[in-house]
Each structure stands twice: as C-alpha cells, then as structure tokens.
Amino acid sequence: MYHSKINGLGFYVPDNIVTNDDLSKIMDTSDEWIQERTGIKERRHIIRGEDTTTSMGVKAAKIAIERSGLTNDEIDFIVFATISPDFYFPGPGVALQKELGLKTIGALDIRNQCSGFIYALSVADQYIKTGMYKNILVVASELQSLGLDMTDRGRSVSVIFGDGAGAAIISRETDLSKGILSTHLHSEGEHAKELAVLAPGMGGRWITEIIADNDPNDESYYPVMNGQFVFKNAVVRFSEVINEGLQANNLEVADIDLLIPHQANLRISQFIQQKFKLTDDQVFNNIQKYGNTTAASIPIALTEAWEQGKIKSGDTLVLAAFGSGFTWASAIIKW
C-alpha cells in the first residue's frame, strides 16, 4: 500500500498589483469599505497578452517540478483545476502538457471552483494510493480579472478576485504515517445559482445570443453572488468538513499545526479560527495580498507558508475550502 505526499510546491502571481485605491478610481468603493468586508488590501491582475491561465500554471508548475527534484519525464499524469480556462474547450490540462514538453501523459481538468485544488489533490491521492501513478502534477490557475464587471454594478464581487496559480507534485510515499492521510469532498447543487456565472452555457444563454442582443445591462456573463447567504453556508460547511477530517484520523483540534483555508474572505477565516480557538500561528492567510484566487488560493497559500518556514516535518496540516456549487472539501496531511 502507498500514501501520497506533496513533493514539490510552486506558485506564480502577476507582477501587476491592483490596490483598493486603484479600484476606487474606477468604481464607487474605497480601501476602508473593501478591507472592512473582505480583509483584502490588494490583488494581482494580469496584463492582457502577458499571461493566460495556462501560462501562469506553467510558471508555477516549473517551480514545483524543480523543487521536487524530478525530471519532466518522471511526471505520470496531470490534474488541472480552474474555472477560467483559456478556451471553452479543450481544457488547460492539455495546453499545460504541451507547454511543459511533457510526454503524452493523461491530463484531467477539474471544475470545482474554490474547492478545485482539494478535489484535484484527492484525485491525485487516489491514483497514487492504487498504484496507477507514481508522480502527479496538480495545478490550479485562475485568470479572473478579464471576466469581472469593473463598474459600480459589479463592485461587491469584482473587488474580491485576483489572478494567480499554484502547483504541487504529488508522489508515492511508502511510510503510511506520512503524506495525505485523507480527503473529504461534498456538494450541494441546490444553491448553485447563489454564486455563479450563468452564461455562456449550453443549458442557458449561449454566447451568440448575448452578442445578438448587445444588451449592456445583461449581467449573465458576470459573476453573481448572494454574499450573506454564501458567508452563512461557508462558516457552517468549513467547520463540518474540518471536523470530519479530524475525526477520520482520530485527531483533535489541538493536533492542528497549521490550517490553510481557501482564501475567500478574511472574515470567514477569522470566524473559523475563533470557533476552533486556533492561534494566529495555527492559521495561514494571505488574501490581504492576493485576493480570492479561487482554485489557486490554497496552493498559493500552501507554497508561501512552506517558503516562510511555517511548515515543518511531522506537522499536521488541514486544508479546507468552500465555494460555488456549493462544493466544500478538506484534506488532512502529515508533512
């Protein structure tokens, strides 16, 4: 039997910093308003033509591969999580394979929004535990800035999101006391439209209809969010899925060395921290700098925490996410 372990980490964010004050120049908002509601001070937006979802994923993946000590030829499979692919189809996994010059290995695309990285991690974990693959490249990348309504109408959503990518090499581990101990995945489609982009889509309005109407008031192709409803569900599901992971491994809250939550809203993370009575050293947040990078937020935070020396051998890590779908997930890792 095998466990899987994280064998290399990398992240990339664009150089272009967009502050709250920058946003206040193009919409009716302010630094105080944004920080009070989200905790965000700045985020990164790509410069059109310089980055894509795939190119950011490639840059993060190259760092992760180098840190793993593996060669490209040792990568057996790709799992790519995103809600913002370069094309409607095909997904970015195959583009990543091409740009990295990898062998003709399989590439799987994951569409689970804010929970995407943990879902992708779970898939990779199962492939390795069954012995099918030895080294899997997991990438989460999001280019959201070009799809936001950067006007007063969209300010409550658009100030939240940023661009970036994170990557991890998941490799075989023979020591069953280490690695990814368990993952826990959930969904509740009943609330799908509470946080969504409703068009274009085959089941609703297609792009040709949107273009034909040329309606400047059509908001269906911009993200919509019932903020209070999402917040209330998030704090409940975060708590549930963290507890589920701890119980599955006979662990207590006191055993958590570091919790890395999806960076959706600093207020959500602070609520969870207070509920579990965790110290500041037990929770890692970086939404203040990068905003909500959806599927990429956890691998970016995980990489940054590791780079800052906040993760040590033997530590118990908890990853947890909640987002559109609704989907939510957790992973328990012994480093």
Q: Which residues are catalytic?
A: 114, 262, 292
Q: Are 272 and 235 in contact (CB under 8 A)?
A: yes
**In b/e form, how buried is each residue of 60-89, taking b as 16+ CB within 10 angstroms?**
bbbbbbebbebeeeebbbbbbbbbbbbeee
In three-state secondary structure terms, 206 is coil
| Residue 164 backbone class (left: φ over 0; alpha: ψ -120 to 50; beta: rest) | left
Supply 72's token pair: 């490209």
Q: Are 328 and 241 in contact (CB under 8 A)?
A: yes
- Mind giving me the DSSP string for 130-188? TTS-SEEEEEEEE--GGGS--SGGGHHHHTTB--EEEEEEEEEE--TTSEEEEEEEEE-
Q: Are 315 and 177 in contact (CB under 8 A)?
A: no
Supply 106's token pair: 């399989």
**Residue position matching structure tokens 């069953």:** 176
Supply 100's token pair: 């990295």
Alpha helices by DSSP H, listed for the chain, are 20-24, 31-38, 53-68, 92-100, 116-129, 155-158, 207-213, 227-248, 266-276, 287-290, 297-307
